[in-house]
Chain A
Amino acid sequence: MSRILRTILKRELQSYFSTAIAYVFILIFLVLSGLFTFYIGSFYERQQADLAPFFTFHPWLYLFLIPAIAMRIWSEERKSGSIELLLTLPIARRHLVLGKFLAAWLFAGIALLLTFPLWLTVNYLGDPDNGVILASYIGSWLMAGGFIAIGSCMSALTKSQVIAFVLCSFVCLLFVMAGFPLVLNAFKGWVPLVVLDTLASLSFLTHFAAVSKGVLSLQDFLFFVSVILVWLGASSIILDIKKGG
């Protein structure tokens, strides 16, 4: 990793932890994932030693938690004016966009890792396939990356964090829902089949379904990686167009 990238990553990550955001976020994430898993996901009633109920809810959890960390990526800098400082330092645009993304992604990773008591619990209660659990963790983190990349792009659009949050949640919702029968049915019949297939194939839900069962295929892996790259590219372009505000 280049030096400059590390410098930016470090500063951004520190800035998460220097405000209350980090702690509030982690706390809420842990509480909600616990609630979802044990109450709604009927963790005990299923009588199975795995974390499928935990992972199944991640797309929905991320839908409003990830925008909460991604909204600040650029909006905060626009609001405070520090973007003028940042963009006049000799830093290549790709390092800047990637550094900020990686910081948010690492932060989400830390929150994810802190759910390890759940993993301990299933191992205590039964004999789960830990390979499956690991694959699910990686898949979930990849999906979080996709959400964050979308958030970075939405955040680059506006200096209002609230607007960035709403936009990001909305676009993420579109991506999650794209594979839903409800959505697909609405399009069925009047759009060409290719479009329908493309739409379905863009769904986070479709790609995550296999992942949450512990199957991390190369195809799903590549899907999330390309989602990340495309949205980061878009962030970079928007920054160039909308520098001054």
Chain B
Amino acid sequence: MIQVKHLSKAYGDLLVVKDLSFNLVPGEILGFLGPNGAGKSTTMKMLTGFLTPTSGEISIWGHRLPEESLLAQSRIGYLPEGAPCYEEMTPAGFLAFIAEVRGYSGSDATAAVDRAIDTMSLGSVLHQKIETLSKGYKRRVGLAQAILHEPEILILDEPTDGLDPNQKHQVREMIKGLSKEKIVIISTHILEEVTAVCNRVMVLAAGRIVSDSTPADLLAKSSFRDAISLSFQGEQIPNEAVTLLGELNGVKNVMVTADSLVIFPSPGQVNLLADIYESARAHGWQLSSIHVEKGRLDDVFRSLTEGVAA
């Protein structure tokens, strides 16, 4: 259980995290979203006891920071931004060091290290110096370090940045596969990641929480929610379609994008799909697809964060 009350952080005169309050309970997988400089990393640094808050309180499973930071830190696995490591070490040596620090010894240590190596598929680079690893492999070493002691709280700052699609998938599966007793916080700029793994999303802008909800509720805020997208064969959108559909009963407005025509219904409209389909048939437009949008996160993200003053 994580409790955060009125958390703020200032660098000199610059206030970068402003009065955050929230609680997290086991089973919650929280996605931190927000533009560059919103304060995501700074917040994570305070939760892990690296930075001392300017004001406010943090308690990690009942352990207050900074007084009981060692107790709190032993329950946290943390991947700092950019996955810093001891570059002159090999993954094998580095993970063995982490295991020792985390209190493992003997065969327990070997088992913990092997499990982390296995989860992050590091087998092929174990004895290569970390400084010579590719960016994605470095990130995987950082992740392996974070999950090694099977922590109750996992805090990952941009965990999938730089990973190949297979590894992205594997990391997401790993997070989803964690037991319901754990708390996970991830920050990311990949919006689909939030819908793929999180059950709670917090959007930060200029150091404040501007939204805190489930991914589904966030999607529902999208102006694209329930809009109907049409794409045409040959990707040519007939001008006639734009005009006629725009004048159709129950249509609020239409939008032409690079490869599709998006039709926004007036509020309370239900039968639009059938009408549009009828029109298309009557005029002989060659549709290649037609679907109802669930909403677009990038659209919500923009409307929530654009123009929020620092």
Contact = CB atoms under 8 A, between A and B. Distances in A.
Contacts of A129: none
A219 interface: no
B88 A82 contact: no
Interface stretch (B94-102, B110-118, B165-173, B288-296): B94-102
Contact of A88 (B50, B71, B87): B50
Contacts of B88: 15, 18-19
A100 to B, nearest CB: 13
Interface class of chain A by DSSP: helix
A19 B45 CA distance: 30
Nearest to B82: A81
A89 B70 CA distance: 8
B76 interface: yes
What bracket does the count of chain A residues touching chain B fall in? Answer: 20 to 34
Interface string B168-185: 000000000000000000
Interface class of chain B by DSSP: loop
Given A11-B97, A84-B84, A92 B70 contact: yes
Contacts of A222: none
Interface string B64-75: 000000110110
Nearest to B71: A90
A7 B100 contact: yes
Contact of A82 (B74, B84, B102): B84
Interface in A1-40: 3-4, 7-8, 11, 14-15, 18-19
Contact of B73 (A11, A84, A90): A90
Given A18-B88, A19-B88, A89 B80 contact: no
B199 to A, nearest CB: 25
Contacts of A4: 101
B77 to A, nearest CB: 10
Interface residues of B, number: 29
B78 interface: yes
Given A7-B101, A81-B82, A88-B78, A244 B87 contact: no
Nearest to A79: B84
Nearest to B87: A80
Contacts of B73: 88-90
B74 A7 contact: no
Given A85-B145, A88-B73, A89-B101, A243 B52 contact: yes
Given A89-B98, A243-B51, A84 B87 contact: no
A2 to B, nearest CB: 12
A87 interface: yes
B49 A88 contact: yes
B269 to A, nearest CB: 52
Given A81-B82, A84-B80, A243-B51, A90 B87 contact: no
B85 A85 contact: yes
Interface in B1-27: 11
Given A88-B49, A88-B76, 6 more contacts: A7-B101, A11-B89, A15-B89, A90-B101, A243-B51, A244-B11
